[in-house]
C-alpha cells in the first residue's frame, strides 16, 4: 500500500440531524409502541453535499453511538443512507465514526454531533423551524487524507 508523497486530498460531508414533534399521547395519529415520555422523532445522518461526487468512493461505513439507554446504542450503517432514526425526549451528543474503504489504509475518524431537538437560533430561524415543523442542525465537515495510498488517490482523482 504505497502512499503518494506530498499530497493531501479533502472531501466534504454533511453531518446533521432533523427532529419533528410526535403527536401527543392520546392522539390517534401517534405511532404505536412509543414510550409515553417520547415527544420527538429524530434522524441523525451523514450525507454528501449536493453536487458532490459519491461518498462511497472513500466512505465504507458509518457508526453512530447514540445515548446508552437506547437498544443497541452503537448503530452501524454499512451502506447509504448513513442515518439513524429514533424517538426520544432529550438531546445528547452523538459520536460519529467514519470508516474508510479498506484499500485506503486509513484509520477511522471520529466526529461528534449534538442532536438538537428544540428550536434554536435567532427569532427568524426559530420562526422558520416552527413553520416547517422541523428542527435541522447541519455542519459541513472536512475529511482530509494526507499522503493517501495509491489506491485511494486513484479512486478520488478519477471520479
Binding site for ligand SLL (CB under 6 A): 35, 67, 69-70, 88-90, 92
Nearer to ligand SLL, 67 or 101 (CB): 67
Asked if residues 3 and 149 have their Cβ atoms less than 8 Å apart, the reply is yes
CA 110-136-80 angle, to 5 degrees, is: 55
| Minimum gap (Å) between residue 21 Cβ and ligand SLL | 13
> Residue 77 is inside which H or E element, if any?
strand 74-77
Per-residue exposure over 26-51, b if at least 16 CB sit within 10 Å of its own CB, e if not: eeeeeeeebeeebbbbbbbbbbbeee
| Minimum gap (Å) between residue 140 Cβ and ligand SLL | 25
Nearer to ligand SLL, 11 or 75 (CB): 75
| Minimum gap (Å) between residue 118 Cβ and ligand SLL | 12
Within 13 A of 2's CA, how many CA atoms are on the CB side? 4
| Minimum gap (Å) between residue 34 Cβ and ligand SLL | 9
Measured between alpha carbons, how far is 93 from 132 in angstroms, rounded to an integer? 24
Nearer to ligand SLL, 16 or 88 (CB): 88
Nearer to ligand SLL, 12 or 85 (CB): 85
- Find the residue with minimal CB distance to ligand SLL: 88
C-alpha cell at 42: 429524530
Amino acid at each position: 500500500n504505497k502512499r503518494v508523497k506530498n499530497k493531501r486530498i479533502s472531501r466534504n460531508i454533511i453531518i446533521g440531524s432533523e427532529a419533528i414533534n410526535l403527536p401527543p399521547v392520546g392522539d390517534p395519529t401517534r405511532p404505536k409502541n412509543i414510550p409515553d415520555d417520547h415527544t420527538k422523532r429524530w434522524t441523525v445522518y451523514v450525507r454528501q453535499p449536493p453536487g458532490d461526487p459519491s461518498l462511497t468512493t472513500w466512505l465504507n461505513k458509518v457508526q453512530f453511538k447514540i445515548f446508552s439507554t437506547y437498544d443497541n446504542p452503537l448503530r452501524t450503517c454499512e451502506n447509504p443512507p448513513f442515518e439513524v432514526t429514533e424517538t426520544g425526549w432529550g438531546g445528547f451528543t452523538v459520536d460519529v465514526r467514519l470508516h474508510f474503504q479498506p484499500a485506503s489504509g486509513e484509520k477511522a475518524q471520529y466526529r461528534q454531533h449534538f442532536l438538537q431537538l428544540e428550536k434554536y437560533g435567532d427569532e427568524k430561524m426559530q420562526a422558520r423551524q416552527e413553520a416547517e415543523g422541523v428542527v435541522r442542525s447541519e455542519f459541513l465537515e472536512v475529511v482530509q487524507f494526507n499522503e493517501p495510498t495509491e489506491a485511494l488517490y486513484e479512486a478520488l482523482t478519477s471520479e
